[in-house]
Amino acid sequence: MANTEIINFLNTNSTHFVATVDHGEPRVRGLRAVRADEQGILYSAAATKDLVKQIKANPKVEILAFNAESGTQVRVHGDVEIVEDQAVKDEIASKRPPLKAAIEANGYDSLFAFRVVNGQLNIWKRGEKQTSTVWETL
């Protein structure tokens, strides 16, 4: 897949599984990506979530996007860049009604926005024999 195809896949299959580390133990949760583009993969969460503490302690994550119909999965590991840009936060609020309500009640400090950057990716498709894991730059 070319980068444009990968970005399209990540946007079309926007529920991703995000893995972090908490005191040496893996933690995985589903998050819906706000968007993927040439800058990276943008996510948001409530600032009170354990995810935020885990990312601040170790800003390395791996995500998995999966399409069950085609049997395609894209894994990306990379660095987390915390996003403070107000325009981006406004975009997130407009796309996520529950977060918008929290922001209206508690201010923008209740929103944690982050982007996965410097991504290395691996693609796997059902029916393909994979003898080794090859990581490519996103």
Task: Report the CATH number at residue 31.
Answer: 2.30.110.10
Domain interval for residue 102: 3-126
Instruction: Centre a 10 Å sphere on the Cβ of residue 80 and count the other Cβ atoms it contains.
Output: 21
| pLDDT value, residue 100 | 80
| pLDDT value, residue 87 | 95
Task: Determine, yes or no, domain membership for 121.
Answer: yes
Task: Name the one residue in this structure whose structure tokens are 């944690």.
Answer: 112
Task: Determine, yes or no, domain membership for 135.
Answer: no
User: Which regions of the chain are under pLDDT 50?
Assistant: none
Task: Determine, yes or no, domain membership for 133.
Answer: no
| pLDDT value, residue 59 | 97
| pLDDT value, residue 51 | 97
Contacts of 52 (CB under 8 A, 6+ apart): 45, 112
**How many domains does the chain divide into?**
1
Q: Which two tokens stand for residue 75?
A: 């894994």
Task: Determine, yes or no, domain membership for 54.
Answer: yes
pTM for this entry: 0.90
Task: Determine, yes or no, domain membership for 37.
Answer: yes
Task: Determine, yes or no, domain membership for 43.
Answer: yes
Task: Determine, yes or no, domain membership for 131.
Answer: no
